Amino acid sequence: MDSVFYLIFLLFVIARLITFIISRKNEKRLKENGAVEYGKPISIMIIIFIGTYTFAVLAEGIYTKVQFSQLTIYGLAIYLFSMVMIAFVIKSLGSMWTVKLIIDKENQIINKNFLFKYIRHPNYFLGIFPELVGMGLIFDAVYSMAFIMPLAVFAVIIRIIQEERVMREHFPVF
């Protein structure tokens, strides 16, 4: 495996750590202000499955001695798109953004900017899902994509359903 793949993997980890740091800061502030977390088991599942998938694509790339190819370029493009979308979502939601489902009923703002207006759950559909696909393509990780990625996708779909339900309960006009 080319050494560039280790650098790419390091960038995956750094990007994810940055989002977790932002999330923890926001989560702490929200909970101090009385916000409530919902769906904690699913949050844990998502973190475990995405973490497992991330390391599985690396392991598969090492095992198969993945080489830089056109597929790597496509994967990088998809991954970079996902990072831009995640950054946009984090910027749009500001201090309300977390990796967990936390509702601050008193101060929650329903985001209506163009992305949220036209795409339901852009964090997942334009961020997380493309991120997983991009990582898999970069490392040509066919088995990880076939067997582990569906677990992460399933957990995120459950989260989307939970989010819809919780938001409708607290904000009927949602």
pLDDT digits (tens, 9 = 90+) for 32-48: 999 999 999 999 999 99
Q: How many domains does the chain have?
A: 1
Q: Is residue 72 part of a domain?
A: yes
Q: Is residue 27 part of a domain?
A: yes
Task: Using the predicted structure, report yes or no on whether residue 109 has a pLDDT greater than 90.
Answer: no
Q: Is residue 157 part of a domain?
A: yes
Q: Is residue 174 part of a domain?
A: no
State residue 107's pLDDT score.
80
Q: How many Cα atoms occupy the beta-carbon half-sphere of 174 within 13 Å?
A: 17
Q: How confident is the model at residue 111 (pLDDT cuts 50, 70, 90)?
A: confident
State residue 50's pLDDT score.
97
Q: Is residue 162 part of a domain?
A: yes
CA 135 to the chain's CA centroid = 12
Q: Quick one: which H or E segment has residue 106?
A: none
Backbone angles phi, psi at 110, to 5 degrees: -85, 115
Range of the domain at 131: 4-167
Whether the full predicted model's pTM is greater than 0.75, yes or no, is yes
Q: Is residue 161 part of a domain?
A: yes
Q: How far apart are CA 127 and CA 88, in angstroms?
A: 9
Q: Is residue 147 part of a domain?
A: yes
How many beta carbons lie within 10 A of that of residue 73, not counting itself? 12
- Helices (DSSP H) in 94-128: which residue ranges? 114-118, 122
State residue 174's pLDDT score.
62
Backbone angles phi, psi at 103, to 5 degrees: -115, 125
Q: Is residue 102 part of a domain?
A: yes
